[in-house]
Amino acid sequence: MTDPRAVRGKEIADQGDQIKKVNDHSFKVKSQSGSKIYEVKATPNGMTCTCPDFVYRGGKCKHIQATRYYLQVEKDTPQGTVTEKVHLTYKQAWDAYNAAQKAEVKLFDNLLKDLVKAIPEPEQSMGRPRLSIHETLFCAIQKVYSQLSSRRAYSLFENATERGQIEHTPDFNVPSKLFKNPDMTPIFHELVTLSALPVAGIENDFSVDSTGFRTTTFSAYNGVKHGQKKEHQWVKAHLCAGVKTNIVAAVAITDSNGGDSPQFGPLVKKTSERFTINEVSADMAYSSRLNLQLVANEGGKAYIPYRKNATGKARGSTLWGKMYHYFQLNRDDFMEHYHKRSNIEATNAAIKRKFGETLKSKNPTAQVNELLAKIIAYNLTVVIHEMYENGIQPEFLHLKSEA
């Protein structure tokens, strides 16, 4: 054992009285160097701790290491010393989950049909009759949901026509053409918002983060100039998601080099247009006086940890100084709010797990629209779950009329 944090963690665990179990997923660990007590929480995404080492560095601090040893109790047996691992379990509303999963495919198409009808159909005064925007949006998002190729998804379009969800079966390449149209990007953004609105009554706390999606195109610059192996290009999705339902309330898409903090304000502003915001949590990449004030302007409170070299100097922001002292003097309470941020990691993982982390489109505009379609499809699956979990009744057209 060469990791010094692991060594100190085992020392804490070996003392026997330094760790107190609060519940199945929360533990109080005494500080080695003082009277402070830190809280270690076990989540499906790993363990977190309220100590400064974890907040600023991340990874496994000595208190997390101590808790891990605490959960692996060594026992002497006739066969020698063995370790009995304590498995952490998480409560799940299995009846609702199972019912939603079994009904998802059928309900998805019905909800998608209602959702796309919330977009006004543009008038056509001349020329040959064209496909309805509702039908093309339906097929494009259905294709992304299925993860099938355009040709293989064609049978889904035929099935939708037979069920009366669309009137005409479009050509198999219609979704690809739709994704390439830059005029569709604001429409896809609006559909992201509309698809999230059914849970507006139960979602008030949000978290902001970003995640990357790989494309099928390559960056040849390094290979030509430096002789390096060519690499996939990436598209970055900046999300504001609810921490209870994991619904995506707002999204911004940039290239792989797009900065995180500049997207924070627009995402919060967009979310506040349709949701009531109580709290917004984000990691230290978003720590700034401006971002704290932006959340306050929308009636909420931001829980963003301060960087190690930060001071409480207001510099024109009394809110910055106030939250800085709250962070320093009430660390446990602050971190309890901040750790809601871990839910957006689950959101990012769920989108990629269900719909893949690779974008099939090669056109840059199409990549953006395809990614937005992934998020719309994901939101509809969340709505389906909440229909069974909390009994919501989504009515997208009604919501549109109130907007």
- Write the DSSP assignment of 159-195 as a string of letters: HHHHTTSSSS---TTHHHHHHT-GGGHHHHHHHHHHH
Name the pLDDT band for 295 (thresholds 50, 70, 90): very high
pLDDT at 302 over 90: yes
49-58 own/partner pairs: CB under 8 Å, 24+ apart: 50/331, 50/332, 50/335, 50/336, 52/308, 53/5, 55/305, 55/335, 56/284, 56/305, 56/307, 56/308
Name the pLDDT band for 398 (thresholds 50, 70, 90): very low
> What does the pLDDT read at residue 24?
76
- By the 10 Å C-beta count (0-12 exposed, 13-18 middle, 19+ buried), 226 is classed as exposed
- For residues 197 and 245, give the distance between their C-alpha atoms in angstroms, rounded to a whole number: 12
> What does the pLDDT read at residue 91?
60
Residues in the chain: 403
Mention every residue, 6+ apart, whose C-beta is less than 8 A from residue 336.
39, 50
pLDDT in tens, 247-264: 999 999 999 889 999 999
pLDDT in tens, 307-345: 989 998 988 899 999 999 999 888 878 888 888 898 898
> What does the pLDDT read at residue 401?
44
> What does the pLDDT read at residue 228?
58
pLDDT in tens, 87-105: 555 566 778 888 889 999 9
Q: What is the mean pLDDT of residues 102-116?
A: 93
Q: Residue 216: how many CA atoms within 13 Å on its side-chain side? A: 10
> What does the pLDDT read at residue 4?
84
- Give the residue, 69 or 239, on which the prediction is more confident: 239
Q: Where in the chain are the domains? A: 4-85, 96-403
> What does the pLDDT read at residue 71?
82
pLDDT at 84 over 70: no
Mention every residue, 6+ apart, whose C-beta is less than 8 A from residue 263.
208, 210, 238, 252, 254
- For residues 260 and 117, give the distance between their C-alpha atoms in angstroms, rounded to a whole number: 33
pLDDT in tens, 343-385: 898 999 999 999 999 999 999 999 999 999 999 999 999 999 9
Looking at every residue in the chain, the average pLDDT score rounds to: 86
pLDDT in tens, 173-226: 999 999 999 999 999 999 999 999 999 999 999 999 999 999 887 655 545 555
Percent of the chain predicted with pLDDT > 70: 87
Q: What is the mean pLDDT of residues 225-246?
A: 82
Nearest to 384 by CA among 115, 116, 108: 108
Longest dimension (CA), the chain: 89
pTM as predicted: 0.77
> What does the pLDDT read at residue 396?
76
> What does the pLDDT read at residue 347?
93
- For residues 215 and 77, give the distance between their C-alpha atoms in angstroms, rounded to a whole number: 54
> What does the pLDDT read at residue 335?
85
